[in-house]
Amino acid sequence: MMASEPGNSSGFTLIEILIVLVLVGLLAALAVFTMGGNSQQRELQNEVRELYLLMQTASDQSVLNNLELGLLLEENGYRFVAFQDETNDWQTSGERIFRAREFPEWLVATRFIESDTPRLASAEDKLRPDVVFFSSGETTPFELEFTVGSDTDYTRPWHQMASLPFSGGSPAMRQTTGDKAKSIKLAQIR
């Protein structure tokens, strides 16, 4: 039988165990931080995707029903309106899918819309849409940029471009990293 020497004991020291616990804790905190930061990005993508799909639906419905539909962008949301030939003005669309919607508080929408395009409305109309989906399949040229407000804790810049072509089809998406703020753009291609 061999007697074990006092200096040759096997196992882990208390310092080694503490170092491993600190490393595991740091990795867990990093994983939680990374997952938490993407929730606002996912919500932004979902908001823009919903609007994009509604715009495609409005474009398709205007052609199928021989009806002009419009997108009215408001301070904190948007709604769809329909042109009434009988009264020659725009009224809120009665279809449930085109109900008024609100943006989250942190979302900032910036619109770039050509002002000299026909809109089927006069200057005194209360509901004058920013984007018109004509029954011919054409759409008012536009660009919408959705940005996360500055009061959020999001730090990584992110951009995505989505295009709404004249006729149906899948959106052209492009994701890039920018220097300023996280944003998504919707644009109509000529």
Collapsing DSSP to helix, strand or coil, 72 comes out as strand
37 has a pLDDT exceeding 90: no
- Identify which has the larger pLDDT, 126 or 18: 18
For 54-87, how does the pLDDT look when each residue is reduced to its tens digit (9 = 90+)?
Answer: 999 999 999 999 999 999 988 889 999 999 888 8
Residue type, 48: V
Tell me the three state secondary structure of residue 177: coil
Q: Is residue 46 over pLDDT 50?
A: yes
**H helix or E strand, kind and range, residue 144:** strand 142-148
What is the H or E stretch that residue 75 is in? none
**What does the alpha-carbon distance between residue 159 and residue 143 come to, in Å, rounded to a whole number?**
14
Domain at 38-188, CATH class: alpha beta
First to last CA, the chain: 90
Q: Residue ranges per domain, the chain?
A: 38-188
Confidence of residue 173 (pLDDT cuts 50, 70, 90): very low
Q: How many angstroms separate the CA atoms of 40 and 97, rounded? A: 25
Question: Three-state DSSP class for 92?
Answer: strand
pLDDT of residue 105: 87
How large is the average pLDDT for residues 85-101?
88
